[in-house]
Amino acid sequence: MHADFVHLHLHTEYSLLDGACRLDRLMDKAHELKFPALAITDHGVLYGAIDFYKAAQEKGIKPIIGCEVYVAPGSRLEKKTSSGGRDVYNHLVLLAKDEIGYGNLMKLATAAHLEGYYYKPRIDKQLLAEHSKGLIALSACMSGVPSAMLAQEKCDEAAAAALEFEEILGKGNYFLEIQEHGLDAQKRIRKSLVELSKRTGVPLVATNDAHYLMPEDARAHDVLLCIGSGKTVNDTNRLRYASPNFYVRSPEEMWRIFGDELPEVLTRTVEIAERIAGPLQRIQLAESANTQGAEVEDEVRVETDHGDGLLASLRLSWNDSTARPIARCIGDRGEISIGWAQTSLVRDDGAREVLAGPLDPHAARVAVLLEFLRERRSRERNIDGGAQSLAWLHAAYRSAASGRFELA
């Protein structure tokens, strides 16, 4: 029998220097507590998605891929502050319902880094509206727009913000988060949150914003925050969590907190989890590419000739996760776009560029990069989405752009 609560707001070790939930231990605990599903909502990034997805499936737990994004108050392109960065973003939790939502989540996370980065990788409401299909949103913690407004006793502004997000995501796809960690600020707005839900018709959902596994991990998590902020535990003016309750609470604990007054905010977590489609084919493809490599079914021959006598060609299997977007990019634009992360490499429509502008379309240089990707895949069968991935992409580009290459 499964538990009647699902954590929809949870930070893993991939929320660098903030989240402290190790995936192996997290899944062991989730399995022990009989969670039917579990979400990953790391801060602004998706590079933990594949490891999380695989670990959850191995334990028979439905993985929910999400992200706690940073939302600019205006345009993500506006980069100025009068408060040391405290006024340049709010939080919003996004969950992918299906393949379309997962693709949109990747687009949002990528654009946040490449276009909206200012203190944090930020999106804005315009970008969210353009890529809202397939997503479910939660209003987040005290740093979410409605909660922040309620904390300032701006009830009308909170209502307007909630209704705006609901309009962007679509009715039934936006929820107000209610949390209880023993914080005074949460206690002050709890009644207001319930009233806001009734006033707007936006339903409430309970979360625990988990950042570590057990209550006794709170001290280690505090040290982690100090490392991330360059402070010591003795510094009084630093980021700290004023409660040891940001851990992966059991369903029984969550029901003791909310069950008598608001049982629907708990059962609603299960209802949301049941709306998540699976498995996600893009993640399955990426995992398959890592573990098995490409199986040759049909082959595509990429040839480019720029009139200088150099003809570069490369044969790639059509179902190779890099072949299709690369072939189309070359054929359509004479340039190449490579994804930021492993999950982006399997996207049929290519991915946003992580290199400084498009590659030189010279046939030989394209061939060098393609060959580099092909050789690395055949040699290691392991393309990751972190610094290592960027390093070899940049190295290939520099090598090609400098002209230091030989064609066999």
Residue 407 lies in a domain: no
Give the separation between CA 53 and CA 280, rounded to whole angstroms: 9
| Mean predicted confidence (pLDDT) in 128-142 | 97
CB 33 within 8 A of CB 9: no
Dihedral through CA 83, CA 84, CA 90, CA 91, nearest 10?
A: -150
Residue 9 lies in a domain: no
CB 294 within 8 A of CB 317: yes
Q: Indicate whether 402 pLDDT > 80.
A: no
Domain check: are 187 and 220 in the same one? Answer: yes
| Mean predicted confidence (pLDDT) in 376-383 | 44
Give the separation between CA 130 and CA 104, rounded to whole angstroms: 9
Domain check: are 254 and 371 in the same one? Answer: no
Q: CA 108: distance to chain centroid?
A: 9
Domain check: are 70 and 133 in the same one? Answer: yes
Helix (H, G, I), strand (E, B) or coil at 143: coil
Domain check: are 324 and 249 in the same one? Answer: no
Domain check: are 79 and 199 in the same one? Answer: yes
Please tell me the predicted confidence (pLDDT) of residue 82: 82
Count of domains for the chain: 2
Domain check: are 250 and 374 in the same one? Answer: no
Domain check: are 254 and 307 in the same one? Answer: no
188-244 tens-digit pLDDT? 999 999 999 999 999 999 999 999 999 999 999 999 999 988 999 999 889 899 899
Given the DSSP bridges, would you call strands 204-206 and 299-305 parallel, antiparallel or unpaired? Answer: unpaired
User: Which residue range is the domain that position 387 belongs to?
Assistant: 292-402
Give the separation between CA 339 and CA 149, rounded to whole angstroms: 37
| Mean predicted confidence (pLDDT) in 8-33 | 96
Domain check: are 227 and 305 in the same one? Answer: no
CB 53 within 8 A of CB 26: no
Beta bridge partners of 319: none
Give the separation between CA 2 and CA 254, rounded to whole angstroms: 15
Domain end among 250, 279, 308: 279
Domain end among 225, 258, 279: 279
Structure tokens at 364: 């030989």
Whole-model pTM above 0.85? no
Residue 250 lies in a domain: yes
- Residue 171, domain CATH: 3.20.20.140
Domain check: are 193 and 98 in the same one? Answer: yes
Residue 133 lies in a domain: yes
pLDDT higher at 381 or 84? 84
278-295 tens-digit pLDDT? 778 767 655 554 544 433
Give the separation between CA 340 and CA 47, rounded to whole angstroms: 9
Please tell me the predicted confidence (pLDDT) of residue 287: 56
Please provide the average confidence, as pLDDT, over all residues in the chain. 78
Domain check: are 264 and 370 in the same one? Answer: no
Residue 1 lies in a domain: no
Please tell me the predicted confidence (pLDDT) of residue 284: 60
